[in-house]
Amino acid sequence: MKYLIIIWISLFSSLSYGFEFKTPDYLSLQTGGYTGFATLGVGYKLNNIWDLETQMGYTPYSLGGIDITTFDLKVRWYHSKLILDDNMLLLGYFSSTFLYSNDKDMFVVLPAKYPRKYYDPSAIRWLFTFGSMFQIHDKYSFYIDYSYTDVELTKYYNNYEYLSLQNLGSIGLGIKYKIK
C-alpha cells in the first residue's frame, strides 16, 4: 500500500510539473462526494482558473460495508467568481475526477481469464462535479459540491423516466488550506 501511495504522489508531481518536484500549493480535506469518508489531498494551482489535485480517500467498514481505499486525480475549473468582501470570495467550479480503488476483486487491465474486451475496468470510475468554494480567509476555503459517477450519468440517460438526478450523486464537503 505505502509503495502505491509513493508512486501515486510521485507520478502526480512529475506529471504536473515536468518531472521537477514542486511543493504543492494547497492541501485539502474532504468527506463524501464518492472519494471517501476521509479524503486527504494535495493540489497545484495551474493558473487562475485551473487546479490539479490528487487525493487519497478511506472509507471504514462501518460506513462502506468493507474497508475501501481510493486514489484520485482531479481537475477543477473555476468558471465564476463573486467578490463578497475584501477577504471573501465565492467561486463556482466544475471538476472531473479519475477515481481508482485498489481492492483485490477489481481490475484495471482485464485479467487473462476473460475473453478479450469482455469487461470495462472495474477499478476505475469517473466523477463529474459542480460546486461552490467559499474563501473566508487568506489561507482557508470551504467547499461544497455535488458529484455524479459516469455510471449514474449514463444510466440516467437511458432511464430518465425512472431515475431522478435528485436521487443520484453525492454531496461532498471539504476544506482547502493554502500552503503558499
Partner 1 sequence: MYFKICLLFCLFSCGRLEYSPWSVDVPDTKLNNKNLYLISKQRQEYPFKVALLADPQGHIQDFRKQLELLNSRDDISFTVVLGDLTDYGLKEEFEWVLNASRISNAPILFIPGNHDGLANGKKIYKQMFGEYSYTFNYADHKFVMWNNNKLEWQGEPNWPWLASQLNSKSILMSHIPPIDDVYQSQEIKYWKQLMQDKNIPISIHGHLHKNMFWSDDIKHYVAPASVTSKYGLLTVEKDSTIVETCTKNGCIKE
Binding-site ranges for partner 1 (CB under 8 A): 31-37, 57, 59, 63-66, 68, 70, 84, 90, 99, 101, 103, 105-106, 113-115, 119-120, 122-123, 125, 131-132, 134, 144-146, 149, 151-152, 154-155, 158-163, 166-171
Nearest distance from residue 120's CB to partner 1, in Å?
8
Name the minimum Å distance from CB 100 to partner 1.
10
C-alpha neighbours within 13 Å on the C-beta side of residue 59 = 17
Instruction: Please give the helix or strand (H or E) that residue 176 lies within, else none.
Output: strand 170-178
Cα 36 to the center of its chain, rounded Å = 9
Residue 125 CA to residue 69 CA, distance in Å, equals 14
| C-beta of 77 vs 121, nearer to partner 1 | 121
Nearer to partner 1 by Cβ, of 117 and 180: the residue is 117
Which of 18, 111 has the CB closer to partner 1?
111
- Which C-beta is closer to partner 1: that of 17 or that of 58? 58
CB of 13 to partner 1, least distance (A): 25
Distances (CA, A) of 168 to 2, 89, 126: 33, 29, 14
Q: Which is nearer to partner 1, 41 or 131 (CB)?
A: 131
Taking alpha carbons only, the member of 164, 146, 145, 147 closest to residue 155 is 164
Identity at 167, one-letter amino acid code: N
Only one residue has cell 450519468, namely: 153
Nearest distance, CB of residue 108 and partner 1, angstroms = 12
- Minimum CB–partner distance for residue 46 and partner 1 (Å): 26
Query: Cβ of 27: how many Cβ atoms within 10 Å?
Result: 15
